[in-house]
């Protein structure tokens, strides 16, 4: 008999108190009026916790606090080794509060508890540890040059870009906050984090841990709110030097236009429609499990979800049978139920959008193999869905569905599947499944995407740069590239 994880008393107390905004080191109410919203548990549709939502005056206060903390060097005046210790301390505190953070991720965002605990929370701690090391390793370089009869000693140094706004999506708030915040702090920036009001409780708890770790007042400010209001104000704000955004390509375009006022620096991790390519020589058990996890994990609400499946024709029918059996066997349920294998979508409106795209795919000629329907009853569940015999022009093939929906297509040759994989406005990620090294290397070399896996899908690592080609974004996160994205390069020429 399946058991249900019991939420800790600490988490219950956290949920019972209305959560405020973190501005200049203090938790506070909205300035203009008591602007509040309720976080909903997507597994039940019921209210979970009352949130304070930022308004225009709160945005101004958060930007001013971040600006003052940066200009007064509250963070930068600390020795690099001291900043490194602070980031290590944050990682330790995340691990100490791992159960509570995982419970908040599960209740607020619909994640499976085990996945949140061993995946999102553990990854967040790893990200802070990895980037802590960069605090003491931001080295410059030097050389001597000559221009005419003048000789110069030159040195180049990296300096923090300034105040950065980190705009966080609802589908992985804790991991995405760590993903952006750790390199920003390692580079010496002050920040404003804007998590989605749909799922931000773990980010607010992270704010408490940052204060406990000794991060100076104003260096990190957290203001939940909508993208249309708070996000837009941050994107256009002239006192902000950098935006790091994860979300839809459509919103990314709005940010590009808003950021033009002061030409602020941008890192944009946008939409994806990642291909999973299975060659006939692949380990079919490994590939079926990996492809299923790549699209149904997180209920498909993952930017790198392998939502376009290409299978070599010789094994197409057999592989679809394996995959559809795996999909039908998945047990939908709340993340706290230890027998659940796939959780809910984030909201009823999002589920409606997923359902509409599935219906459109069937109307355009795709064959429904399994799933395809919203689940009746409490919560925002949607069946794991496979649409077979899809064609390149179908809406379900071209648009990011962001749900547990897979479109499957057969192919004959490597040239054919590479052309099909590249026939997308997106280029975020993808995977290749084969036992042949030459096939793997040739295919990955020719696919236009920012991150590719061979015989795996969706595995992140803090040291590996992440970002997309084409309309999947600008710039890279993680690794040394993340540090570079939060710094400016200064060159100094000293005449000898």
Q: How many CB atoms lie within 10 A of CB 280?
A: 15
**Burial class of residue 139 in the structure, from the number of CB atoms within 10 Å of its CB (0-12 exposed, 13-18 middle, 19+ buried):** exposed
| 84-119 pLDDT, tens digit each | 999 999 999 999 999 999 999 999 999 999 999 999
Residue 397 CB contacts under 8 Å (≥ 6 apart), including other chains? 273, 308, 361, 390, 391, 407, 409
Q: 233, 246, 244, 243: which is closest to 263 by C-alpha? A: 243
Whether 10 has a pLDDT exceeding 60, the answer reads: yes
Positions of CATH 3.40.309.10 in the chain: 275-461
| 304-313 pLDDT, tens digit each | 999 999 999 9
Q: State what percent of residues in the chain have pLDDT above 90.
A: 96
Q: 271, 349, 275, 334: which is closest to 299 by C-alpha? A: 334
Positions of CATH 3.40.605.10 in the chain: 9-270+472-493
Q: Under a CB-based contact definition with an 8 Å cutoff, are residues 257 and 478 in contact? A: no
Whether 75 has a pLDDT exceeding 70, the answer reads: yes
Mean per-residue pLDDT, 35-39: 89
**How far apart are alpha carbons 280 and 327 in whole angstroms?**
21
The number of C-alpha atoms within 13 Å of 366 and in the hemisphere containing its C-beta is 29
- Write out the catalytic residue numbers: 269, 303
* The residue to which tokens 């008999």 are assigned: 1
Strand ranges in 233-336 using DSSP code E only, listed in sequence order: 242-246, 265-269, 275-278, 308-312
| 393-452 pLDDT, tens digit each | 999 999 999 999 999 999 999 999 999 999 999 999 999 999 999 999 999 999 999 999
Q: Which of the pair, 4 or 210, is modelled with greater confidence?
A: 210
Whether 2 has a pLDDT exceeding 70, the answer reads: no
Weakest mean pLDDT among 224-233, 290-299, 352-361 = 224-233
| 108-149 pLDDT, tens digit each | 999 999 999 999 999 999 999 999 999 999 988 999 999 999
Q: Phi, psi at residue 210, to the nearest 5°?
A: -65, -45
Q: What is the 3-state secondary structure (H, E, C) of 69-92?
A: HHHCCCCCCCCHHHHHHHHHHHHH
Mean per-residue pLDDT, 60-82: 97
pLDDT of res. 390: 97
pLDDT of res. 1: 46
Whether 33 has a pLDDT exceeding 80, the answer reads: no
Architecture of domain 275-461: 3-Layer(aba) Sandwich (3.40)
Fold of 9-270+472-493: Aldehyde Dehydrogenase; Chain A, domain 1 (3.40.605)
**How far apart are alpha carbons 439 and 138 in whole angstroms?**
38
Q: How many CB atoms lie within 10 A of CB 250?
A: 10
Residue 241 CB contacts under 8 Å (≥ 6 apart), including other chains? 161, 162, 163, 164, 264, 265
Q: Under a CB-based contact definition with an 8 Å cutoff, are residues 391 and 365 in contact? A: yes
pLDDT of res. 117: 97
Q: Are strands 405-411 and 385-388 parallel, antiparallel or unpaired?
A: parallel
Whether 30 has a pLDDT exceeding 60, the answer reads: yes
Strand ranges in 231-324 using DSSP code E only, listed in sequence order: 242-246, 265-269, 275-278, 308-312
Tell me the sheet residues that pair with 405. 385
| 174-207 pLDDT, tens digit each | 999 999 999 999 999 999 999 999 999 999 999 9
The number of C-alpha atoms within 13 Å of 466 and in the hemisphere containing its C-beta is 23
Q: What is the mean pLDDT of the chain?
A: 96
pLDDT of res. 207: 98
């Amino acid at each position: 008999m399946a058991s249900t994880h019991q939420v800790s008393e600490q988490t219950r107390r956290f949920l019972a108190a209305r959560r405020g905004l973190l501005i200049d080191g203090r938790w506070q109410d909205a300035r203009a009026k008591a602007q509040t919203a309720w976080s909903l548990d997507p597994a039940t549709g019921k209210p979970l916790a009352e949130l304070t939502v930022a308004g225009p005056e709160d945005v101004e206060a958060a930007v001013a606090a971040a600006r003052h903390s940066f200009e007064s060097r509250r963070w930068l005046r600390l020795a690099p080794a001291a900043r490194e210790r602070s980031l290590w301390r944050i990682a330790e505190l995340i691990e100490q509060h791992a159960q509570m953070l995982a419970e908040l991720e599960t209740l607020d965002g619909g994640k499976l508890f085990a996945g949140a605990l061993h995946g999102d929370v553990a990854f967040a701690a790893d990200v802070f540890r990895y980037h802590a090391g960069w605090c003491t390793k931001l080295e410059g370089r030097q050389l001597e040059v000559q221009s005419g009869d003048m000789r110069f000693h030159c040195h180049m140094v990296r300096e923090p870009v300034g105040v950065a706004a980190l705009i966080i999506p609802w589908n992985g708030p804790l991991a995405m906050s760590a993903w952006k915040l750790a390199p920003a702090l390692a580079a010496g920036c002050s920040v404003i984090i804007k998590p989605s009001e749909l799922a931000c409780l773990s980010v607010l708890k992270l704010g408490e841990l940052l204060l406990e770790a000794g991060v100076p007042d104003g260096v990190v400010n957290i203001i939940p709110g909508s993208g249309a209001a708070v996000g837009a104000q941050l994107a256009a704000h002239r006192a902000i030097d950098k935006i790091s955004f994860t979300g839809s390509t459509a919103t990314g375009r709005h940010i590009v236009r808003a950021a033009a006022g002061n030409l602020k620096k941008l890192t944009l991790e946008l939409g994806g429609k990642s291909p999973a390519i299975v060659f006939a020589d692949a380990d079919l058990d490994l590939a079926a499990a990996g492809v299923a996890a790549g699209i149904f994990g997180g209920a498909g609400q993952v930017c790198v979800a392998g939502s376009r499946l290409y299978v070599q024709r010789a094994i197409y029918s057999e592989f679809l049978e394996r995959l559809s059996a795996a999909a039908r066997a998945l047990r939908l349920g709340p993340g706290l139920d230890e027998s659940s294998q796939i959780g809910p979508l984030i909201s009823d409106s999002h589920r409606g959008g997923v359902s509409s795209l599935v219906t459109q795919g069937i109307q355009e000629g795709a064959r429904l193999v399994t799933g395809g329907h919203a689940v009746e009853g409490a919560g925002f569940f949607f069946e794991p869905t496979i649409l077979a015999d899809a064609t390149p022009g179908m809406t379900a093939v071209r648009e990011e569905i962001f749900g547990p929906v897979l479109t499957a297509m057969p192919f004959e040759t490597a040239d054919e599947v590479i052309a099909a994989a590249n026939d997308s406005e997106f280029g975020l990620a993808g995977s290749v499944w084969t036992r042949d090294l030459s096939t793997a290397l040739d295919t990955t070399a020719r696919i236009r995407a920012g991150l590719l896996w061979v015989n795996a899908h969706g595995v992140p690592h803090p040291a590996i740069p992440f970002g997309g080609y084409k309309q999947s974004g600008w710039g890279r996160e993680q690794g040394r590239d993340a540090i570079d994205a939060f710094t400016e390069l200064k060159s100094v020429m000293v005449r000898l």
